Amino acid sequence: MSKVKFTETILRDAHQSLMATRMTTEEMLPIAKKLDEAGYHSLEVWGGATFDASLRFLNEDPWERLRKLRKAIKNTKLQMLLRGQNLLGYKNYPDDVVEEFVKKSIYNGIDIVRIFDALNDTRNLRTALKATKEAGGHAQTAISFTTSPVHNTEYYLKLAKEMEEMGADSICIKDMSGILLPYNAYDLIKKLKETVSIPIQLHSHFTSGIANQTYMKAVEAGVDVIDTALSPLGNGTSQPATEPMVASLDGSGREPGFDLNNLNEIAEYFRDIRDKYQEKGILKTKVLGVDPKTLVYQVPGGMLSNLVSQLEQQGSIDKFQEVLEEVPKVREDLGYPPLVTPMSQMVGTQAVFNVILGERYKMVPSEIKNYVKGLYGKPTIEIKEDIKKKIIGDEKIYTGRPADLLEPQLENYKDEIKEYIEQEEDVLSYALFPQVALKYFQYRQAEKYSIDNDLLNKEDKTYPV
């Protein structure tokens, strides 16, 4: 078997998982060259929550971040995470927006687009997959991994075969909750390798404390690529740490060929950044530990912190355990959706309402209603009639592809922000996060005006009075 390849997540999922996606572009650039030279298969640098966080919290243009990283990283593939028809947001976007977003992502420097759907509804992957291939990118479709009476090996093999037939260049098993057990991983990957002819990648989180063992069995089964994060931002709710995983493969016959001294040197750089954010209180101790309850409730790390936050706002943190126990019940009611964005937030919120109000489905968020109506995609199994009745009454359920209901919007968006457009990509930023993007554009304009005035004042002083 060939050597196992590594995707490094420290510039995306690692700081998203551990420190609320707060790493800035300027903190990334000084170490970019060393990361490029380390020997990774790819560097995950974009997508997920980084886009929103850049605009909302850092006053940074995410497109500019991508361009700067591409300029600094010349040899290693750059990778992003895309939520299928949801792009980087929390709802379905029209096809014209999806196509243009993918095209611009690849134009600005992305090589590999990892495309997933929260419901594993492949209809929600097709537009992004086709656009990725047409733009010359590598389309990696991701299976949102979960367990339930219906999510078994046969289900995943069928899904993988469908993805290959759709034109996927590789498949990722996306274990967002860290619940894929080692021997199950071995069995699944072994059978996947016999079922499809394209590469298989494994992405897991260390939340439950088992991902290291899962990765080792996956490597034995022939997985092609694994996702890790350098130790300062590895483990906890992040990915397994890179350096110990590299060392663990010594003698396996599939050694990745990294220089551990070189990885340790890069890790030292990120250790300083981690310490800085820990002092600021952004890196919470809770996300660094292991929570075996994840294996029971399947709640990803990000969803856990979201539940805590919701309960604190309601003054009901004492009901945390009760809410945790309600989550799998809501999930069963809703046809066993995988707990990944946006379904994790939706199921979590419904569980909170059910517990705090003391009556199940007395209050139902509009997102849950739309999900039951079929506007997010097809549930894994049919939702029971009594649950449907409680949530949407006698309203009709849509069975088509959700995005077919959406009209093209790009031209409208262009018109709405024409006074702020400085680059074509601005229209896409606005399409995804209208209010956040608008606020950023106003900030950018004010900054530019301020700089222009400063220059003008300096120039005025050079002229005689």
Backbone angles phi, psi at 112, to 5 degrees: -115, 125
The predicted pLDDT at position 285 comes to: 72
| Secondary structure (DSSP) of 102-155 | HHHHHHTT--EEEEE-TT--GGGTHHHHHHHHHTT-EEEEEEE---SSS-SHHH
The CB density around residue 51, as the number of other CB atoms within 10 Å, is 27
CB contact set of 74 (below 8 Å; sequence gap of 6+): 36
d(CA 81, CA 335): 25
Contact between residue 406 and residue 95 where contact means Cβ atoms under 8 Å apart: yes
d(CA 341, CA 48): 9
- Token pair 């034109």 is found at 167
How many residues are recorded in the chain?
Answer: 465
| Cis peptide bond upstream of 328, omega within 30 | no
Show the beta-strand stretches assigned E in 150-224: 170-175, 200-204
Contact between residue 173 and residue 200 where contact means Cβ atoms under 8 Å apart: yes
The CB density around residue 360, as the number of other CB atoms within 10 Å, is 17
246 closest CA partner among 272, 215, 274, 222: 215
198 closest CA partner among 160, 156, 254: 160
Give me the amino acid identity at 45.
Answer: V
Contact between residue 200 and residue 170 where contact means Cβ atoms under 8 Å apart: yes
Buried b (16+ CB within 10 A) or exposed e, 179-216: bbbbebbbebbbbbeeebebbbbbbbbbbbbbbbebbb
d(CA 298, CA 293): 8
Residue 182, SS3 per DSSP: helix
d(CA 98, CA 96): 6
Q: Where are the alpha helices (DSSP H) in 196-259?
A: 211-221, 242-248
**Digits of tens for pLDDT over the chain (465 positions)?**
799 999 999 999 999 989 889 999 999 999 999 999 999 999 999 999 999 999 999 999 999 999 999 999 999 999 999 999 999 998 999 999 999 999 999 999 999 999 999 999 999 999 999 999 999 999 999 999 999 999 999 999 999 999 999 999 999 999 999 999 999 999 999 999 999 999 999 999 999 999 999 999 999 999 999 999 999 999 999 999 999 999 999 999 999 999 999 999 999 999 999 999 999 988 877 678 888 888 887 877 667 767 877 888 888 889 988 998 999 999 999 999 998 888 988 999 999 999 999 999 999 999 999 999 999 999 999 999 999 999 999 999 999 999 999 999 999 999 999 999 999 999 999 999 999 999 999 999 998 877 666 655 655 444 333
Tokens of 325: 């126990």
Contact between residue 440 and residue 428 where contact means Cβ atoms under 8 Å apart: no
Backbone angles phi, psi at 223, to 5 degrees: -55, 145
Burial (CB count within 10 angstroms: exposed 0-12, middle 13-18, buried 19+), residue 379: middle
DSSP state at residue 43: E
The predicted pLDDT at position 451 comes to: 66
Residue 197, SS3 per DSSP: coil
Tokens of 100: 């243009």
d(CA 43, CA 46): 9
The CB density around residue 461, as the number of other CB atoms within 10 Å, is 7
pTM over 0.85, yes/no: yes
Q: How does strand 112-116 pair with strand 77-82? A: parallel
The predicted pLDDT at position 24 comes to: 97
Cα 345 to its chain centre, rounded Å, is 13
The predicted pLDDT at position 225 comes to: 98
Contact between residue 17 and residue 44 where contact means Cβ atoms under 8 Å apart: no
Task: Report the half-sphere exposure of 84 (CA within 13 A, side-chain side).
Answer: 25
DSSP state at residue 213: H
The predicted pLDDT at position 289 comes to: 84
DSSP state at residue 383: P
Please calculate the CA angle 308-314-316 and round it to the nearest 5 degrees.
65
The predicted pLDDT at position 124 comes to: 98
The predicted pLDDT at position 464 comes to: 34
d(CA 192, CA 199): 10
List % helix, strand, coil for the chain (3-state, nearest 5).
55, 10, 35
